[in-house]
């Protein structure tokens, strides 16, 4: 079981997101939490960036995806982000939380959280 992770908390993306017509005319902030399994031992032993999963590169790619086209559902955003992280960066397990604060008047926060892949990869 691989327990090491790289994480990014509260990545802010200005997205066209929502099911209602008025939401398709504006951008709204989404805040993404990403958690990605990654074995840190090769990078730590060599002190070599090439063995690391770069949180900056991942964050840029995710922002481009989320801001690059409109979405109706936060579920779709979460799924597409998980697929991107797994396919482009070779991450075996990912947890993606998409927060859409302000969408419900009396709620502090809301959104969806998904996990994709297996943490038991050697």
Ligand X SMILES: Nc1nc2c(c(=O)[nH]1)N=C([C@H](O)[C@@H](O)CO)CN2
User: Is 100 labeled as catalytic in the residue annotation?
Assistant: yes
Contacts of 17 (CB under 8 A, 6+ apart): 23, 28, 30, 70, 71, 72, 74, 77, 100
- Within 10 angstroms of residue 64's Cβ, the number of other Cβ atoms is 12
Contacts of 9 (CB under 8 A, 6+ apart): 33
| 16 interacts with ligand X by CB under 6 A | no
Element (H, E) at 86: helix 74-89
Decide whether 11 or 78 has the Cβ nearer to ligand X. 78
In the complex, the smallest distance separating the C-beta of residue 72 from ligand X, rounded to whole angstroms, is: 7
| 30 interacts with ligand X by CB under 6 A | no
Contact with ligand X (CB under 6 A): which of 26, 44, 54, 73? 73
Decide whether 88 or 113 has the Cβ nearer to ligand X. 113
Name the site residues for ligand X (rule: CB under 6 A). 18-20, 23, 73-75, 100, 103
Active site residues: 100
């Amino acid at each position: 079981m691989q327990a090491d992770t790289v994480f990014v908390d509260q990545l802010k993306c200005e997205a066209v997101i929502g099911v209602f017509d008025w939401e398709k005319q504006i951008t709204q902030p989404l805040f993404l939490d990403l958690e990605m399994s990654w074995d840190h031992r090769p990078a730590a032993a060599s002190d070599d960036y090439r063995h690391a999963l770069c949180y900056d590169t991942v964050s840029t790619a995710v922002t481009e995806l989320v801001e690059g086209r409109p979405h109706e559902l936060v579920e779709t955003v979460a799924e597409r982000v998980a697929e991107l992280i797994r396919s482009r960066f070779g991450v075996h397990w990912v947890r993606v939380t998409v927060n859409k604060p302000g969408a419900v008047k009396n709620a502090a926060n809301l959104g969806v959280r998904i996990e994709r892949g297996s943490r038991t990869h050697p």
